[in-house]
Amino acid sequence: MNDSILFTTLTTASGHLFGRATLNAPASLNALTLEMIDLLGPQLDAWAADPNVAGVMLDGAGEKGFCAGGDVVAQCHAIRRVGPGNVPPEAEAFFEREYRLDCRIHTYPKPLLCWGHGIVMGGGVGLLAAASHRVVTPRTKLAMPEITIGLYPDVGGSWFMGRMPGRTGIFFAVTGAPMNAADARFAGLADFTLRHEEHAAVLEAIAASRWAGDRTPDATQLSHLLERYGNEAALMQPPMPSPLRTHYDRIAAVMGHDEMADIAPRLAALTNDPDPWLAQAGTTFVKGSPTSAAISFDLQQRARHMSLADVFRLEYQASIGFCVHNDFAEGVRALLVDKDKRPQWQPATLGEVSREFIEAHYVKRFEGAHPLADL
C-alpha cells in the first residue's frame, strides 16, 4: 500500500463530504515524486465527479513544510544516465503529469483549499498558487529558487509570476528571494493568513458546516470560514512586515523595463545593499545560472498574453530543453547531490547566452501531438 499521499474524507453537517489529500513525505519536506502526482491526479478527478463531495483540502504532513518542490534529484540522476543531448523518459513523464496536475487544480470545479504552511517552494508553489483558497501561516517561507539549480520557475510560474504587482514577478524569478506570508498575500499568491495551530480547528469547522454542493455558495462559505479564523489570528499577533511591499519601488527601479543585460548590473549591485533581504537576492542572482536568468526573463515576456494552458505547453518544451543542456543537472548536482555548491554553468556569463541558445530550449522534442494538447 502506498502512503506517500494520505486520502481521507470529512463528513459534514449537511451530509456532504470534504476530501482531504495530505502529502505524506515529511522527511523530504513532502517533495513531489511522479508516484505522488499519479496518486493525486486521479483522486482529484474522482472527487470532482462525485456530487456528494463539496470541496477538497490539500495539505502536507509534518510541521516543517507543505511541499519543498519536485523531486529534482531523481531528474538529475535520469539526465546523467542518458547523457548530454538526450531526453530521459522520466523527465518527459514527470513534467507532463506535474503540469497536468497543476492545470487540473487551477480549473478545479469545486472549492479547493491549500494549506501552505512552512516551506513552500518550486512545485509546492505551483500547487498553492493554483488553488481557489490559499492559506499561508506566519511560518510560511515561499520561494521559487530554481535559478540556484539551473532551472526556471515552472509549474505555471511564467503565468502567475507575470501577474504579480509591478516588476516583482521577474525579480523573484531571477533572485529566488523568499516571501513570507505578508509578501505572498501582497503578491497575489495567497488569500488568507492563519496560524498553523488552527489547522485542526479549520477541519472541525468544515465538518460542522452545512454545504450546498454548489461551487459558488460553497466557495463563498469557505472564504467566510477562513476569514473568521484569519481575523482571530490577526488579533493575536502584530502585523507581519512585508519586504516585498517595503521594497516595491526599489524593485521597480532595479528591474526597470529593459532587457536582462541592462538589468543584470543593477541586480548585481544589490549584493552590497545594507538591507539583508535585498543583498541576499542580489547574491543569489550573481551565483545563479545565467541561462536560467535569461530564459526566466524570456518566458515571462512570451507568456504575457498566453492562456494558462498554452503556458503549460510552452513550459513543458522549455523544461525538456533544460534536461538536454548542461545547467539543470549540474545545478542539482552541485546543490543537492555532491553538495559542493560549485556549479560550473555553461555558458558561464549572461553575455554568452545567445538568442539561438535560448530558442534551442523551446525546440519540440516529441513526435505527433503535444503531450499537453488536451489541456
What amino acid positions are annotated as catalytic residues? 70, 123, 146, 154
Which helix (H) or strand (E) segment is 326 a member of? Answer: none
Hey, what amino acid is at 4? S
- Tell me the sheet residues that pair with 60: 23
Count other Cβ atoms within 10 Å, centred on residue 182.
Answer: 21
Going by C-beta distance under 8 Å and a sequence separation of 6 or more, which residues neighbour residue 2?
35, 39
Q: For the chain, first and last CA: distance in Å? A: 30
In the sheet with 192-193, reading across from the earlier edge strand, the strands are: 5-11, 17-23, 53-60, 112-116, 133-136, 192-193
Please say whether the beta carbons of 13 and 210 come within 8 A. Answer: yes
Distance CA 159, CA 153 (A): 10
What are the angstrom distances between the C-alpha of 284 and each of 6, 156, 279, 344?
36, 22, 9, 15
Which helix (H) or strand (E) segment is 121 a member of? Answer: strand 119-121
What would you report as the CA-atom Rg of the chain, rounded to the nearest whole angstrom?
20
**Among candidates 156, 177, 157, 151, which has minimal Cα distance to 72?**
151
Q: What DSSP string runs through 188-217?
A: TS-SEE--GGGHHHHHHHHHHS---S-HHH
Distance CA 373, CA 312 (A): 10
